[in-house]
């Protein structure tokens, strides 16, 4: 292609804006914001104060509040909207997108009721478009500050994934490839649920040993369900599995960890959701995870307790008491 590849990111949240800024350093990049004032701020000040404070965005990044304008001429479409509005946003974009444009998801959630992964929704709403994801242990503000990080571009076609690497990579941001789309895509939603548990552990002050227990046994739960759904075991030891899990369970900037801490303080799920400016995907994902665990007969005691706390059936203290009642067997066994 003689001209630069045009990347369009739909969604001006913290991570979508960060990815758009990364892309702008490499090629033409345009971001769509629902709110006109957000788009104007990005164009005028090269900032997105609502989600990223005073951190500067790449000066070449442009923004628009017109979805049609954003999508019409793009060569790569990046979906930076949350899972609950993912399908509708795709439907709204369908009339304007050109054929065969790759569509990359940034969302780390599962659709309510259908249990669909985001790439499955892309195939349903935009058949014929190559679908994949960009995911990893990435706190948006740290990436935008230029701290070293890495992510994975997961596509069924390795060649397409490799062609996308130069668009998102930077000197200190490494973009790897992986063809295990299912495994990479499940890591994000599943670790969000475990991160709520880790946040509850910190909120209750139960100690570093307990948090390590939650993380490692939580990873085992992620792997059991992920492989039952078709992911490869080794993927869960990589950036989109263990890497993302560690970051989300330990970073004070992690929204899902923050949810767990607030649940431990006795706040209700409704009050937490109402007060949050950004989406914590683990809240809605927990119910979907438990439905999938029941469908595939996978034991997930940590995720089950998290779901019970989110639904108000248990307190955080009761959840950890419930986990203590489980008799330990071999480390390779389900509990």
- Distance from C-alpha of 46 to C-alpha of 29, rounded to nearest angstrom: 13
DSSP string computed for 13-37: SHHHHHHHHHHHTTSEEEEE-SSHH
Within 13 A of 162's CA, how many CA atoms are on the CB side?
3
How many CB atoms within 10 Å of residue 266? 11
* Residue bearing tokens 């939580």: 218
Beta strands 28-32 and 131-135: pairing type?
unpaired
Residue 265 carries which DSSP code? Answer: T
Residue 191 annotated among the catalytic residues of the structure: yes
Beta strands 76-79 and 62-64: pairing type?
unpaired
Q: Are 284 and 83 in contact (CB under 8 A)?
A: yes
* Residue bearing tokens 């104060």: 49
User: CA dist 157 to 67, 74, 204, Å?
Assistant: 28, 20, 45
Measured in Å, how far apart are the chain's first and last C-alpha atoms? 53
Residue closest to 61 by CA, chosen among 14, 19, 93, 4: 19
Choice among 108, 141, 191, 284 that is catalytic: 191
Helix (H, G, I), strand (E, B) or coil at 165: helix
Active-site residue set: 191
């Amino acid at each position: 292609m003689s001209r630069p590849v045009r990347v369009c990111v739909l969604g001006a949240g913290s991570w979508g804006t960060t990815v758009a800024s990364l892309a702008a350093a490499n090629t033409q990049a345009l971001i769509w914001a629902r709110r006109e004032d957000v788009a104007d701020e990005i164009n005028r000040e090269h900032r997105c104060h609502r989600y990223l404070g005073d951190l500067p965005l790449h000066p070449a990044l442009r923004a628009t509040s017109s979805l049609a304008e954003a999508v019409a001429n793009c060569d790569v479409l990046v979906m930076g909207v949350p899972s609950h509005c993912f399908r509708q946003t795709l439907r709204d974009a369908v009339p304007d997108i050109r054929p065969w444009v790759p569509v990359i998801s940034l969302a780390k959630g599962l659709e309510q009721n259908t249990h669909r992964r985001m790439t499955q929704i892309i195939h349903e709403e935009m058949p014929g478009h190559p679908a994949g994801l960009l995911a990893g242990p990435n706190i948006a503000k740290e990436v935008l500050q230029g701290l070293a990080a890495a992510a994975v571009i997961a596509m069924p076609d390795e060649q397409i994934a490799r062609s996308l690497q130069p668009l998102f990579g930077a000197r200190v941001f490494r973009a790897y490839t992986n063809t295990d789309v299912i495994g990479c895509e499940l890591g994000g939603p599943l670790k969000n649920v475990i991160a709520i548990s880790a946040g509850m552990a910190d909120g209750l002050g139960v100690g570093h040993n307990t948090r390590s227990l939650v993380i490692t046994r939580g990873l085992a739960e992620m792997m059991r369900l992920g492989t039952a759904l078709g992911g490869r075991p080794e993927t869960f030891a990589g950036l989109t599995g263990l890497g993302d899990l560690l970051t989300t369970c330990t970073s004070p900037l992690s929204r899902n960890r923050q949810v767990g801490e607030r649940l431990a303080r006795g706040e209700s799920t409704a009050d937490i959701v109402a007060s949050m400016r950004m989406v914590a995907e683990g809240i809605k994902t927990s119910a979907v995870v438990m439905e999938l665990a029941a469908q595939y007969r996978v034991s997930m005691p940590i995720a089950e307790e998290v779901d019970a706390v989110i639904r108000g059936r248990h307190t955080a203290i009761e959840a950890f008491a419930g986990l203590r009642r489980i008799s330990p067997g071999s480390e390779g066994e389900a509990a």
